[in-house]
Amino acid sequence: MKIVQYPHPALRHKASPVTTIDKQLSVQIGQMIELMYENSGLGLAGPQVALPLQVIVMNFVGDAEQKDQEFVAINPVIVESRGTLEEREGCLSFPGLYQKVRRAKTVRVQAYNLKGELYEMNVSDLPARVWQHEIDHLNGVLFIDKMSELGRLASRKAIEEFIAEYEQARKKGEIPADLEPKL
């Protein structure tokens, strides 16, 4: 399992709801958690590892030692959003790129855990930002889509570099053929 970087087409696929939580899915989620910590991320979504399922892993402090901050969210939904807050954020599929994004300040979310139990959470500020960012991934939505015009302009060069790097990797055959963009 590997984190795919922009503009890998898997990042634009809409993830399907999970219908069964089996051994295979548990193993895949375990690998996603490991990858998240290895890359010092606060969250990782299925499409980012080319797994087109509605699965998210998060740790709001990015610390593997703090398991109380670690969450697995299967088929997550935002049931309520309140307020707005513009803060800088990044994404493991855009290493090194940080930009301000406006999001809801507070969200109430529902999701299933690995045991298949439905849970609900009320979160504000950074944890709310992580939930919204990761749920966007499940819909093929990326933080560059949500930047202000100014933010997108400031990120243009970095985004062009991601595209050039991806193109190079693709030519070298480092990108799986079945996931190549079909133009």
Among 2-10, 72-80, 88-96, 98-106, the segment contacting Co ion (CB under 5 A): 88-96
Is 117 an annotated catalytic residue?
Answer: no
Among 11, 91, 107, 144, binds Co ion (CB under 5 A): 91
Taking CB atoms within 8 Å and a gap of at least 24, the contacts of 161-166 are: 162/5, 162/6, 162/7, 162/94, 162/97, 163/6, 163/7, 165/5, 166/5, 166/6, 166/7, 166/8
User: Dihedral through CA 104, CA 106, CA 110, CA 113, nearest 10?
Assistant: 100
Q: Which residues, 114 to 173, sit near Co ion by CB under 5 A?
A: none
Rounded to a whole number of angstroms, the minimum distance from the CB of residue 96 to Co ion is: 13
For Co ion, which is the closer residue by CB, 88 or 116?
88
**Closest-CB residue for Co ion?**
91
**Total of chain residues touching Co ion, rule CB under 5 A:** 1
Q: Which residues bind Co ion (CB under 5 A)?
A: 91
